[in-house]
Amino acid sequence: MGKDITTVSGLTIGLDLGDKHTVGCVLTGSGEVEETFRVATTMSALGRTMAGFESSRVVLEVGTHSPWVSRLVEQAGHEVIIANPRRVRLIAENDAKTDEVDAELLARLGRVDPGLLKPIVHRGERAQHDRILLLARDGLVRSRTQLVNQVRGFAKSLGHRMPSSSTEAFPRRVREQFSKDLFPGQSVMLEMIARLTQAIRRMDREAEKLCKDRYPETGVLRQVKGVGALTALGFVLTLEDPSRFAKSRTVGAYLGLRPRSRQSGEQQPQLRITKAGDELVRRYLVGAAQYILGPFGPDTELRRFGQKLAARGGKAAKKRAAVAVARKLSVLLHRLWVTGEEYQAIGYGQSAQEAA
């Protein structure tokens, strides 16, 4: 699912990326600290610094700056290992935590066995750039939801109840039911909700345009009812290269939709999913699964599979069914992307499962 990790003789460099400054620790082939350095976290400063070292293995932890720093370091001729934050708790739990110590620990972990860090692969610059549209839209949606909840809460505290409605229709429904503001600032908040709705619609149109002009492969994914422009675009921009996955079934685990495993002897408790992958795309897939299982979802193998799980009853059966359908959906979308096949709502599942 990622680039191969080579065996590097010579230097191993750990970089602790800070918002303003980056601290580096350079280890020799024998594991001795050759030098430490501190440099501004800018393209020019880091570029000059890294160009001054011979070809080395460079280890850094994933974070805000890691995408562009990893690209810059690779351009300087180094091998880059981007450590999965879930595997570097040694740093977070260190009782003598400093930037210098963090950089040295990263270097030592990368020198001994990079596989322990479960390295990740950052998406390309264009994919990262385009994906910001989805993140920005998600931020606006969250802000709108928070405003709606505040309006409802303020009204309830004064003994009033706001009308039930969709988020988009909320300002209009409130104005229809109440001719005057119930509390100071209500009209301003309703206006802001309306403006956010307009902005979200504009971003939806931009997402549709991106799908059509730059990512036509999303059209194959959108054959599945319930998968719209946002879900398809998010899926493509997150995976970026479908060939990274030898088998389609591994995509669900990559996106954090696989249940945790904690087997001990004969005990194998049922645990929640790992949530190890991209949170936004995971929400999109679960939302698509809920549509598939909902009253407007067409008859498909995915729907039948989810309905069987939900029918078993038990605590949170419907939620577990939606997550299971989302996991199967991720496998299906990857398979469609790789093959470009025409999706058959009934009868496709078996052949796709065998091929995966």
Would the pTM of this model clear 0.85, i.e. be above it? no
More confident residue, 113 or 185: 185
Which of the residue ranges 111-125, 176-190, 298-312 would you say has the lowest mean pLDDT?
111-125
pLDDT of residue 285: 96
More confident residue, 74 or 354: 74
pLDDT of residue 351: 54
SS3 letters across the chain: CCCCCCCCCCCEEEEEECCCEEEEEEECCCCCEEEEEEEECCHHHHHHHHHCCCCCEEEEECCCCHHHHHHHHHHCCCEEEEECHHHCHHHHCCCCCCHHHHHHHHHHHHHHCHHHHCCECCCCHHHHHHHHHHHHHHHHHHHHHHHHHHHHHHHHHCCCCCCCCCCCCHHHHHHHHCCCCCCCCHHHHHHHHHHHHHHHHHHHHHHHHHHHHCCCCHHHHCCCCCCCHHHHHHHHHHHCCHHHCCCCCHHHHHCCCCECCCCECCECCCCCECCCCCHHHHHHHHHHHHHHHCCCCCCCHHHHHHHHHHHCCCCCHHHHHHHHHHHHHHHHHHHHHHHCCCCCCCCHHHHHHHHC
Which of the residue ranges 4-13, 93-102, 232-241 would you say has the lowest mean pLDDT?
4-13
The owner of tokens 């669900």 is 252
More confident residue, 181 or 349: 181
pLDDT at 189 over 50: yes
Domain ranges of the chain: 12-117, 125-213, 218-355
pLDDT digits (tens, 9 = 90+) for 24-58: 999 998 889 999 999 999 999 999 999 999 999 99
More confident residue, 115 or 175: 175
How high does pLDDT run on average in the chain? 88
Q: Which CATH superfamily is domain 12-117 in?
A: ATPase, nucleotide binding domain (3.30.420.40)
Q: What is the mean pLDDT of residues 258-269?
A: 56
Query: Which pLDDT band holds residue 89 (cuts at 50, 70, 90)?
Result: low
- The encoded tokens of residue 22 equal 């980056």
Q: What is the mean pLDDT of residues 259-275?
A: 58
The owner of tokens 């976290």 is 41
Phi-psi region of 324 (alpha: psi -120 to 50; beta: other; left: phi over 0): alpha
Q: How far is CA 32 from CA 71, 85, 94, 106, in A?
A: 27, 25, 20, 14
Would you call 83 exposed, middle or buried from its count of C-beta atoms within 10 A (0-12, 13-18, 19+)? Answer: buried
pLDDT digits (tens, 9 = 90+) for 273-332: 677 778 999 999 999 999 999 999 999 999 999 999 999 877 688 999 999 999 999 999
Which of the residue ranges 21-35, 161-175, 217-231, 261-275 would you say has the lowest mean pLDDT?
261-275
pLDDT of residue 95: 60
Q: How far is CA 116 from CA 109, 172, 281, 284, in A?
A: 7, 55, 26, 30
